[in-house]
Structure 1
Amino acid sequence: QELAALKQRHAIATSASGGQYPTGDGDTVPVDEMDRQWRDAVAAVWPLSWFKKRKVTRLLQTYATGGQANPDTDLAAIREHRAIRTALDTNVLASMPTYWRGWETDIPTLEAAFELLRETRNAIVEVGQAHGNVNEVARTLSPGLKDASGNHSLVRASNAFLQTAKAFTVAWRGYSDVARTPPVPKESTAILRDAACQAALVLEKRTAIRNWITWNCVRKKAESLGLRALVNGLESSEFPANETVAMFKLAYARWYLPTVVDRREPLRAFQRFKHEDAIVEFRRLDELARQTAATHAKQAILHGLPSSDGVPRKSELGLLKHQMSLKRPSKSIREIIGGMPQTFGKLAPCLLMSPLSIAQYLPADQSQFDVVIFDEASQITTWDAIGAIARAKQTIIVGDPKQLPPTNFFGRAENDEENDELEDHERDLESILDEAQASGLPTVQLNWHYRSRHESLIAFSNWNYYGNQLVTFPSAVSDERGVTLKYIADGIYDRGKSRTNRLEAEAIVADLVTRMQRCLSRPEHERLTYGVVTFNSQQQTLIQDLLDEEQRKCSELEWFFADERIEPTAVKNLENVQGDERDVMMFSITFGYDVHGKFPVSFGAMNRDGGERR
């Protein structure tokens, strides 16, 4: 209150003064002498008083640091400032250098400091009483409290203790909630001792505690699945713990197998020795078939033609020998084959060609083959197959009507994909397989399926498309998953423009390049083969361009794309990937959210008739 009154007097004196004057050591104004001169000037007659007043005013102005000096008010104000300064210097608060700023001292800050002092005093008394000697505690803490820098060892130790105490409080509360221990009063002096004992016990028994927690989780899950009897048997030691899995399998088999065995005649009549004898006999016949097939193949390729050294120039073989000796043959392949009607079938009894290649290279009047076999016939149009059928005495058409038909969907104009209707010439085309089925030709269904690494990969198609008629051969059990999903969260499908998903394409290329670079350290015969399948041609082109860039950066990657590879890395779309096999196949789904955050349900050809075949 005294400080507030002094600050108010200082403000009044400052506002009454016309000029500003130095304070403290800079205050050298001879107030008493000038006050006497000013009274003499006031008492003198005019005009003498005017000259004396002006003299005193000019003298006072020399001491002013600003403003206009006025002896009538300023001398009294200077005296008031000096009296206030004397009162401030003798104030008891002047001994607090941390907070004392003379008449500039902030009173709220000073009040907060006093409140802190009161709390500190109470804390010292409380700690001292708990310790048994308040004075000793006060003397110990006094140096740290007097150190205004805040860097005293006691202050640093106190700050560290405060942080540790806060962390301990949080940890102890969490431990108490989990361990269900009763809360300990904050004023308890045994809390640290009790906490240390319990922590030591937890550390000592941590393995047992972890196992107990795991067991409780497993027990709860097992009971929710109806395995309470198994849990009870394990807890009561009816069987060893290491036989739990075997006991579960045994119990499950005893429950399930009787119903299966009784329902099926082959299982009811099963006899082990008959089954083992059948396996031995099958292996014997299989080996005999292999030997017979090898002998038959050798006999089939014995054409009985003379060696190339002794053939006449004008003979069919002479024509072939002459054309082979030329750097640039004078006849086309079609003309050479046409000139060998008698010997060509002996030289090449089996040809592997596409329907278009047959029409291009084999003359129409060529001697007929015994049989022509169409593989992947669901992909061959009728008009492409007619030429090959005409060149053979017998035709075998092999294909799957559930798989992709011929189409020119990806040959359409770029702005047509979003249209709901397709022109007649843009729809799925009829294949030679469809034509053969519609004509009522004899058919044989191949039901054995052996390609899927895991039976679940074919189970859906078997059930939904093949009437559950496929006989699958499960592979050896493996922990490795044959199918994985990598979700590109930021991928954007550029629906209205390029119809690509660039982030997805870049992710596929990066993953593919990483796999290839790891494979480069292997011998060539151990390197994996790769393929990429896209759901539209635009994404296919984008991925091909990105792979071309990576090959330019790293020429070693070209090994995977070289034409001399039996299965070079290929980037194909849904319409032309049918029948391809690779060690690793990557699918670029492409479709997804667009730039506006919408998910269009238009997936190109998959939305239309025949989409399930894709």
Structure 2
Amino acid sequence: MLLNDLASDVDGPTSWFDAAAAQSALVTLGFGAGVTYALSHQLPSESLVSFLSKSAYEHWADHYLGEDTRLHRFHGMDRSEVVENYRRLDRGLIDGAVSTIITSAVARRPRANYGQASIIRREAEKKKRHIPVRQLVDRARDVIQAIHPCFMMSPLAVSQYLPADLHFDVVIFDEASQVTPGDAINCIYRGNALIAAGDQRQLPPMSFFAVSAVDDADSDEENLATDYESILDLMKSAGHFNALTLRWHYRSRHEHLIAYSNASFYDGKLVTFPGAIATSADMGVKYVHVDGVYRRSAGQDNPIEAQEVAKRILHHFETRPNLSLGVVAFSAAQRDTLENALEIARVDRPELDRFFEEDRQDGFFIKSLEFVQGDERDVIIFSIGYGPDEAGKIYKNFGALNRQGGERRLNVAITRARQLVEVVTSMSAAQMGEVGSEGARHLRRYLDFAERGPSALSLELGDEGRGTDSPFEDSVIDAIRSWGYEVQPQVGVSGYRIDIGVKHPNYPGAFMLGVECDGAMYHSSRSARDRDRLRHEVLEGLGWRIHHIWGTGWYRNREREQATLRALLSELALQPMSGRTGPAESKKRSTPIEVQFVDTVFDEAPTWAIPYAKATPDRIPQWMDLSDARYALQLVAFVREVANAESPIHFETLSARLRDAAGVGRVGSRIRNTLVRAIHFSKIDFDGDFLTVGSVSDVRVRMPSDGATRAIEHIAQSELMEAIRGVVQDAGGAPRPETLARVSRLFGWQRQTSGITMRLGGLVDHLIASNELEETAAGLRMSQ
């Protein structure tokens, strides 16, 4: 039978031998178990390749998971706990730095009411006739810088209030694009290091007084210092400074708010973060067209548009009272018209007056285009103002935008909002037609963006067709979709995207969960702080709930990971999205800093000085002939007892103690010789004048305790220098004469003789020469 089959199947034997050879080769390569399983279960030949490939990959993964300790150290849940613990410790490190700074400043606080400290206290208690600030800083500079090490001032204030020779470790310019080199030089030379923070694509330097005096449609920016080069430009062109680009942008709670600037001014290099609310009436950029008329020849304003803006302001505080608001007019004339229109509209709405109280931090404002740098609010309303005139014609004069740097002013304005921009305009991009200046061209493009959305910039914002980065993400998405949830992969616009966004079933346009896998996007940040804390906090601030799935956990225990994820989704689907977003809150410390206020009692004796403790040795027997040097050994115990109590002690003071203990009238030369021999036998350090027990660093300053003072010649140099250090340190800084007077009073000298002044003055010079003290125009201070 078999022979007949072989005879009828000419190619059969060849196929059989080929199959046997292939099976042998697969067994040799380690696929024996897989081949046996495939044959026993009669798997289709077309499935064999994918089956064996999967088997190989699983074997490879199991091998490395078992061999590499970095991979099997943590399971998924364990790793999440490690990351959360890291976040807590890292936040604690930042919070702890605040306490450290406060403690350091308190430690430098003056502990005595003399010297520079007394100048500050005296001026604080005055009701009138205060000395000028510049004089105060000059005379009390050391104490002021010690307790207040950071000065925040404009370049003009630096020139007005700080002495020319006052120096700092670091000078930092914020908004450096607005500071001319001429204004900056007066600050730069005061520092040992220089940092300039700024954006060359935002406002250039300008003359404040020129702008205040002249601002109309035809000459808004004539007197702005647009031809001046900023200190930022100068530093970048010099080539000697290290430059660091800050790419993260997280002010905007919706990516549309920064999309235009990112695409048009920053070449798409900003890393922006998507918000959990993709579409909302209170998020993004909103276009509002008004049939307004620009009064070109009369007020150079647009009253109809101003009335619409006034209505929207009142509507905002009626419907969004928890969101801060600012209004930006594109000319000073339109700003004034807006203020008048709002004042009229408020007459019938007195209950809204509380929203218009002055608050520089978050209060309502109406400002013209060039004065909004540094401001930010939850909602910004633009009043373009320009548009068709009474004859229906649009002239190509757009005030500040027509001037050099006009596009930079526009960039500042359109990046002020955290949550929503409402563009109120009487003209569309199409109506503007061809324009000449760069600023006007950007205005036309921005109006087009506001009207048509991201498509105007050819951006794929929120593109739901974007694919995943890995099969791992595909596997997670398949699981989520199988549970009935709608999923969007790669949520975001720029350099950062959330791997998987799960949409809320009850809130269209909102994501209830962001799933982050440990793939390319997670590892795109090299530092743990960026990757595991800062980025996570930014996303939470934008309304996201983030769940991390670790690849090893998903591979090893997929059922547990799926159960955890599914339970979380079920919980979030029942929760509202309203609590996720709202006004951007200022950053709060995780642990409140407790500050205790303690009044300094300046009349207390210094903590570093103690009352003089006089030794009380036993009386020396009368039979002991102290003039006989053979009795020196019997005096060793006496010398040690007195020296231990009164070190450092002058030889004359020790002689006086011996005279009292022995009951002799005077200590002559022979008794002195015996005492010197006893000192030698005692092994106590003796330099010919002073006996010192222990090291010089152990020396304490001693004040008179019983009214008896020591002559300056009988006080060791180390003790006098310690007193000088203490007086200067307690005061924070004091003039030399006052320092010497304080030291004299400390030792009980009612009259400061020339000898005392000369001795103390020489020690001050010695401390200056050894870099322990510095002498400035304001007096003596501890070396920095």
TM-score (norm 1): 0.49
- Relative CO higher for 1 or 2, CA cutoff 8 Å, sep ≥ 6? 2
Larger Rg, first or second structure (1 or 2): 1
Greater helix fraction, Structure 1 or Structure 2: 1
Greater strand fraction, Structure 1 or Structure 2: 2
TM-score (norm 2): 0.39
